[in-house]
Structure 1
Amino acid sequence: MALSPLPLVLCGVCTAQAASPAPQAEAGPAEVPPAVPVAQSPAPSLVEALASRLKVEAGVDAYYGFNFNRPVDAASFIPGTGTSAKRHNEFSLNLATLGASLEPAPVGFRLLLGYGTGMEVLHAGEPTGTAVGPDVWRFVQQASASFARGPLTLEAGIYPSHIGFESLQSQLNWTYTRSWMGELSPYYQTGLKGTWRFSDAWSAQLHLINGWQNIGENNPGKALGTQVAYAGERLSASFNTFIGEEGPEGSDGLRLFGDGVATYKVTDAFSLGFTADVGTQRVPEAGTALWYAAALSARVQLSEPVAVAARAEFFKDRDGLISGTAQMLSEGTLTLEVKPAEHLTLKLEARHDRSTEDVFAGHGKMEDGAPTSKPSQTLLIGGVTAFF
C-alpha cells in the first residue's frame, strides 16, 4: 500500500501557524452541542415475529420406472414395500409434498402432507380395526408440536423415525430407490421424543411411541426408542434401538431391534456410508424370529452438478417375520445424479434385486389370476424431484 503525503502537509500547516499566530480566545467552559434524539425501532409485532420463523415447503417427486420382469400387475418390489418407483412402465407421481413449519422459540410445529404412490405404501400397514385407520392418515407425513429450551427439545405427534440411513424424501438420499433396510424398518413413528444436545457433536434421544411405524394403536403395548449420535466434520454416526410389544395381544411379541449408521467423508468429493441392523421378536408357539442386514454405500461428486452413488446390501429374514417370506434379499444399485438448479434433482438409476425365494412378480398369470413369481428383478428408473 502506498504511503500518503499527509504528514508533510500537516507540517506545512504547523509552519504557517507559527509564522502568523492567531489571537487566543479567553479560556471558558466548552460548549456541548445538544443531544440528537435516536429514533427507536418499533418492537416487532407477534405476527411479524411468527412470520420470521415460519417456513413453507412444497415439492414434487415424479418418476418413470421399467421393470424387466414386466410384472403383469405393474407393481415392482414385494408386498408392503416400494415407497419409490413402485409402478412399472408408467410415468407416475411418487410423492407430492406441501407443508409448513414454525421454528421452536420456544414453541413450534411442523405439518407435512403428501400424496402419491409412496404414501400409499407408507401407511398400508396402519391397523384397520381402529377408529383411525389408513384412510384417516394416508396424506400425513408429519404432524408434530415441539418445545425447545437450552439443550433440550421435546417433540410430540407424528414425526420421522430415528432409525435408518434414508429419508422418505428422495432428494435427501444418495440413491433414488430405498434399501430393503429402509423399506422394512419405520419411516415414521407416533409419540413423544426428547432430544438432549451435550455439545455441537454429541446428542441423545429417548422416544415413547405407539409402536413400529403405526399411528393407530393395534395392541395395549407401547414401545421405547433410543439414539446416541455423533456428528463431526468428517464422521457422523448413530446407534438406534427399539423395544416394544408388537404382537396383536400386546404381550406375546416383544421386539428388540438395533440399528447402526455411519457416514465418513473421505475427501470433499468422496463419502462412504454403512448401515447394519439386527432384530428379534418372540412369536407365540414358534420361538424367536430373527432378522439382520447390512449395506455399504458410496457417493462421488464428479463436478458441481454431477454425482454418482452406489449401494450393495443384503437382508436376511430367517423366519419371514418382517418381509413375509423366509429369505435372503440382496440388491445392488447404481445412481447418476444431476442438479441443474438449486432446487431440482434428476436421477437415473439401475437396480438389481435377488432373493433366495420366488418373491418378485413376473409377466405371466397363475390359474387364480395372481402374477407368476421370480427370484429376481432388474429396474431402470428416471426420477425428477423439485423441492423448496
Structure 2
Amino acid sequence: MTGYVETYYVHDFTTPKITQERPGFLYNHKRNREVNINLAFVKLAYGNRAVRSNLAVQVGTYAQYNYAAEQDLLRNILEANAGVRLSETHNLWVDAGVLTSHIGFESAISKDCWTLTRSILAENSPYFLTGAKLTYNSANGRWTLLGSVVNGWQRIRRPAGYGGPSVSTQVQFRPSGRLTLNWSSFLGSDRPDSLRQGRFFNNFYAIVSPADGRFGLILGFDIGADRKPVRNGHPNQREGTGAYIWYSPVVIARLKTTGRSYLNGRIEYYDDRHGVVVGETGTPGGFRTYGYSLGYDYAITPNALFRIEGKVYNSRDALFETAGGRSRTNTALTTSLAVSF
C-alpha cells in the first residue's frame, strides 16, 4: 500500500479577493486564497510475473474539478485496473479499467513532475483514460509500444451520444539513460456522433537528462484537430471545410542546486482560438496565451517535498477577471507541501 497527500495555497494577485477559483482552463491547484488539498490518495497494488492490479482512491480539488462530468461514485477513482501478461518470453501485457494516461510527460501527482503547477497542455489533455491497453517493453529497455481502446477523451463513462470507441497509441524510445523521445496519439471524439466531429491529437516530447543529473530539459509539443461540426444535424451542412486546430509548445528546464533542492523554469504557449478544448472565450482572438513560471523545490525529507512557484499568464485578449473588469495578464504564487508514503 502507498499513499500521497499534497496540500497547497495559491495567492492569485489578479482575480478579486472574493473569487475562489482560478481560471477555467486549470484543474490542479484550482482554489484561490485558501489552504486546500490538491490530491490525496491511497493505493493498493498487487503484481507478480503473470498478473497485476491497481486500485487508488482519491480526494481533493483535482478530483472535484477534473472528474466533474463523471458519476458521483466514480469521481474518487484515481486508478482501478487489472492486467495479465500475455507472453512468457516477452514483456507484453494487457490491462483494462481506469488507467493513468500515457499521454504527456506530466501527471496529477505533483511530486513526479518537474514543476509545481501543470503546464496548460497537460491541464487540457487526458490525465486518465478508461478502456483496455496492450503494452510491450523491449528486453533492452529502450522501446515502449502501446495501443489502447478507450471510452473517450479523459472519460470513465462514454460521452452522451457518442458511439465510440476511441483509440490511443504511444511510441517511446530511450536510446540512452540521458534521452527519452515520445510520441502519443488519440483518435476518436469527445462529441456526439450527430456532429461527426472526429478528433486527431498528437503529443510529442523529449526529455534530456545529463549523466550528472544537475541540469535537465523537457521539450514538448501538442497539436490536435477537431473536424468542423455539422449544422442543424445535417452532414452536408458544415461550418466550413477542414478542421479546428489547437497546439501548444512548452520548454521546461531544471537545475539541481543542492542534494535536496532544484530550481525550475518554464515557457509555454497555448493556441486554441476556436475554443475546441479550453472552451469559447467570447473574445475576438480566442484563447491564445503565454505562460511563464519560476519555481524552487526543497526535499525536507526523502518523502516530504516543499515547493513554491510564481507564474504569469499573458493572453492576446483580456480573459482574466479582475476587480475592475478584465485583464490580459494573470499573476499567481503557489506553494505546496507533498508527503508520500
TM-score in terms of structure 1 length: 0.79
How far did 1:104 drift?
Answer: 4.0
Number of residue pairs matched by the alignment = 317
**Gaps in structure 2 of 5+ consecutive residues:** 230-237
CA–CA separation in structure 1 for the residues paired with 2:52 and 2:102 = 19
Partner of 2:185: 241
In the alignment, which of 68, 75, 86 is matched to residue 21 of structure 2?
75
How far did 1:134 drift?
Answer: 3.3
Partner of 1:222: 165
CA–CA separation in structure 1 for the residues paired with 2:239 and 2:42 = 44
CA–CA separation in structure 2 for the residues paired with 1:224 and 1:174 = 28
Partner of 2:275: 320
Q: Answer whether contact 1:82 1:118 (CA < 8 A) is retained.
A: no
The residue identity in structure 1 corresponding to 2:143 is: W
How far did 1:138 drift?
Answer: 1.0
- Structure with the higher fraction of residues in strand conformation: 2
CA–CA separation in structure 2 for the residues paired with 1:139 and 1:82 = 19
1:174 maps onto 2:129 in alignment: no
The residue identity in structure 2 corresponding to 1:214 is: R
The residue identity in structure 1 corresponding to 2:79 is: Q
How far did 1:250 drift?
Answer: 6.0
1:208 maps onto 2:163 in alignment: no
Deviation digits for residues 110-132 of structure 1 (CA, Å, limit 9, x no counterpart): 011111111112112x2xxxxxx
Distance of aligned partners of 1:251 and 1:70 in 2 relative to their CA distance in 1, 3 Å threshold: closer
CA–CA separation in structure 2 for the residues paired with 1:295 and 1:98 = 31
SS of 1:328's equivalent in the other structure is strand
Larger radius of gyration: 1
* Equivalent residue runs for 1:1-388 within 5 Å: 56-71=1-16, 72-77=18-23, 79=24, 81-124=25-68, 126=69, 133-148=70-85, 149=87, 150-199=90-139, 200-218=141-159, 219-231=162-174, 232-249=176-193, 252-266=196-210, 267-284=212-229, 285-287=238-240, 288-324=243-279, 325=281, 326-363=286-323, 372-388=325-341
Q: Answer whether contact 1:83 1:94 (CA < 8 A) is retained.
A: no
- Structure with the higher fraction of residues in helix conformation: 1
SS of 2:117's equivalent in the other structure is coil
The residue identity in structure 1 corresponding to 2:67 is: H
CA–CA separation in structure 2 for the residues paired with 1:256 and 1:70 = 35
SS of 2:259's equivalent in the other structure is coil
How far did 1:153 drift?
Answer: 1.3
Distance of aligned partners of 1:221 and 1:265 in 2 relative to their CA distance in 1, 3 Å threshold: same
Pairwise CA RMSD of aligned residues?
1.5
Distance of aligned partners of 1:250 and 1:159 in 2 relative to their CA distance in 1, 3 Å threshold: farther
- Report the identity percentage: 28
How far did 1:292 drift?
Answer: 0.8
Deviation digits for residues 299-342 of structure 1 (CA, Å, limit 9, x no counterpart): 11111101111110001113111111322111001110000201
CA–CA separation in structure 2 for the residues paired with 1:225 and 1:101 = 24
Q: Answer whether contact 1:67 1:88 (CA < 8 A) is retained.
A: yes
**Gaps in structure 1 of 5+ consecutive residues:** 1-55, 127-132, 365-371
The residue identity in structure 2 corresponding to 1:110 is: N
